[in-house]
Each structure stands twice: as structure tokens, then as C-alpha cells.
Amino acid sequence: MSRLRVGVIGAGTWGRNHVRTLASMPDVELTAVCDLSASVREKTARTYPGVLVTDSVQALLERVDAVVVASTARAHAALGLAAVRAGKPVLVEKPYALTVREAVELAEESDRLKVPALVGHLLEFHPVVDRLKTMIREGTLGEVYYLYSQRVNLGQIRPDENALWSFGPHDISVALYLMGEAPARVSAQGHSYLQRGIEDVVFLTMQFASGVIAHAQMSWLDPHKERRLTVVGSKQMAVFDDMAPREKLRIYDKGVDRPPEYGSYGESLAVREGDIWIPKVNNAEPLGLELGHFVKVARGEAPTRADAWDGVRVVRVLEAASRSMATGGGPVTVEG
Ligand SMILES: NC(=O)c1ccc[n+]([C@@H]2O[C@H](COP(=O)([O-])OP(=O)(O)OC[C@H]3O[C@@H](n4cnc5c(N)ncnc54)[C@H](O)[C@@H]3O)[C@@H](O)[C@H]2O)c1
């Protein structure tokens, strides 16, 4: 079978990882890279001779079978739309769009033209997140009570997206994926310390109709680098530490048991301090898994995961959270 010709639009700090990963995939031919920055183009052309390096989206679209968009967030939806209208399956980096209107337009156009427009929700491809999803589905953790995540570090301070839009798509997409539902209501508080109108620090709370609460702390103004998710269930608790070099998932056999004859007396609740175990999880790189999936979808060989409507659902939460933040943190209903 011939190799899929893939082009990348936006080869900056993150896009160059897409370029490198695609260039290493045996069933892919990295055919073209488009970037508005002359220095990025120069560096890319030096590393990948034989690849068309251009500042023209049109020139790229004419050469490729499928496209990855990793430009600045402002351009994501328009570039995704251009790819879909040219009949090229596209993977659009997060955030999928900067408004629900743009995200829905892209998803509807993708449906109408039957051209997939996936979203780069990388963590949905993380083997640990998949393992957690299986554990939740099989009831290993019991009933999920709540989850919370910390995504904090110092920099990269973005001039055109705040910490919510930069980090939030990861935590929101994981919470929606694990819970299998979208939140009914959100509230968020944030503050701009470094650049006027761009929040560096955001605390987001999502409330699901099932009663689950998911909280995310996001900041690029923090002394620690943390990428941690804790899921608290009625039987067990799970901690996913993505900064750990190995053994990223730990399961705590801890909880509070309620005897069957439980009445209203607090003393009959029994705290259980059990073992901690470390499941063996495949350590494949999520970006390779995400792009491998994209290639299969572009070839029509696999049903789509992290599809256009997944992108829309997360942008709906981001937009509702922005509205909440603008009012000082009041609850906002998530549309759709
Ligand atoms: N999935 C992940 O884990 C992950 C991680 C980091 C960043 N990202 C996302 O990837 C995107 C890019 O992030 P980055 O850190 O590489 O930013 P960056 O600013 O370093 O790079 C963006 C590049 O896109 C180019 N560009 C912008 N508009 C363009 C256009 N219309 N046509 C062609 N090129 C264009 C710029 O010249 C620049 O080189 C952001 O949306 C970011 O949120 C995702």
C-alpha cells in the first residue's frame, strides 16, 4: 500500500513534534510543511530535505492526502475548514476553535463532506488514561465520586490564549472521556498577573449530571511542574502522575466503607487503608498513538476517536468557563 502523504501546518514548538513523529512513521510520507515564520521554514528545510516547505496553505493542500494543524490557536478552525473543504482529513490541535460557533461550523462541514476533522486531545490516547477508562467501566474503582487535576508549571506564557484555553482542553477532554458525559454546569475563577486580560492561573470546576465533580487547576505561573490526575471512587482511588518517568499510575485500595445497616451515625463509617498497587501499563508515546490513529482514519481503516464533536464538546466547556470567569466564578450552564 502506498504511503499516506501528510502535511503539517504550523511547525513551531509543538508542531515540530508532529513533523518528527510523522517523518518516522513507515506508512507516512511527510510531504509538506507550511509555516508563516521564515526561521521555522529555514530550520525545517534543513532538517527535512525533499519535503516541500512553504508559507502557502494552498501549495501544501495540493500536495497531500491528509493534514495536521498545529498553528497558533487563532488559526485552528479556519485551517481545519480549508483542509476539509479541500477533501483532506485533518487533525486539528487543541484548542479546536476559539468559539463554539467556529467549532460547530467545522464539525458540521466535516459531517456534510464526510471528511474527518479530528481534534488533538492527546491524553485521550495516553495508555494510562485508557487503563483508567477500562477500570472505571469495569467498576474497579467503584462508583466515581470526584476527580481533580493539576496542570501547572512556569511558562510557556502564551500571548493569545489564557491558561484555561491552553491547558484546559487536556483536563476537560480527559474528564469527559473518563466520565462518558459532558458536564451540565461549570464555574471558573482566574486571574491575570502578567499580561492584561490573559489569565495565567485558572481554577475550573465541572459538575456532571451524574453527581460527579471534576476540578482542574491550571497555571503557567507556578514553582512546580505537575501533571497529575486523581480519581476518587467508592472502592479505590487512582493517581496518574504524568511527570513520573515510570509507573505513572498508582491504585490506592483506600476508601470509606459503609455497612449495609448504615443509619445516620458517623462512627459506623469504616476507613479502609489497603494496599497500593502499580498496574503495568504500555509506555507507548501518546503522540505516536494519536498520529497512528489519524493515519488509519484518513485511510478509512478505523472509526474516529477524538472526532470533531469531541472538539465541539470541549470548546463548549471552555466557552462556558470563560463566561463564568468573566462574572467572577458564578455557575454557567453548558449548552448542548
Ligand atoms: N496536544 C498537546 O499536547 C500540545 C502541546 C503543546 C501545544 N499544543 C498546541 O499546539 C499549538 C501550537 O503550539 P506551539 O507551542 O507550537 O506554538 P508556537 O507559537 O511555538 O508555534 C505555532 C507555529 O504556527 C505558525 N503559524 C501560525 N499561524 C499560521 C498559519 N496561519 N499558517 C501557517 N503557520 C502558522 C507560527 O509561525 C508558529 O511557527 C497551540 O494551539 C497549542 O495549544 C498542543
Return the CATH number of the domain spanning residue range 124-285+317-333.
Answer: 3.30.360.10
**Same fold for the pair 4-122+287-302 and 124-285+317-333:** no
Residue closest by Cα to atom 38 of ligand 1: 12
The C-alpha angle 280, 281, 283, rounded to 5 degrees, equals: 130
Q: What was the pLDDT predicted at 259?
A: 76
Tell how far CA 250 is from the center of its chain: 22
CA dihedral 231, 232, 233, 236 (to 10 degrees): 90
Q: What is the pLDDT of residues 8-56, one digit of tens each?
A: 999 999 999 999 999 999 999 999 999 999 999 999 999 999 999 999 9
Q: What is the pLDDT of residues 67-108, one digit of tens each?
A: 999 999 999 999 999 999 999 999 999 999 999 999 999 999
| Strand boundaries in 158-212, DSSP class E | 185-191, 201-207
Q: Are 14 and 70 in contact (CB under 8 A)?
A: yes
Superfamily for domain range 4-122+287-302: NAD(P)-binding Rossmann-like Domain (3.40.50.720)
Q: Cell digits for 133? A: 477508562
Shortest-distance atom of ligand 1 to CA 158: 19
Q: What are the Cα distances from residue 157, in Å, to 58, 78, 214, 223, 317?
A: 31, 24, 25, 14, 22
Contacts of 75 (CB under 8 A, 6+ apart): 10, 69
Domain extent listing, the chain = 4-122+287-302, 124-285+317-333
CB atoms within 10 A of CB 307: 18
Pocket of ligand 1 (CB under 6 A): 9-15, 34-37, 40, 70-73, 75, 93-94, 120, 122, 166
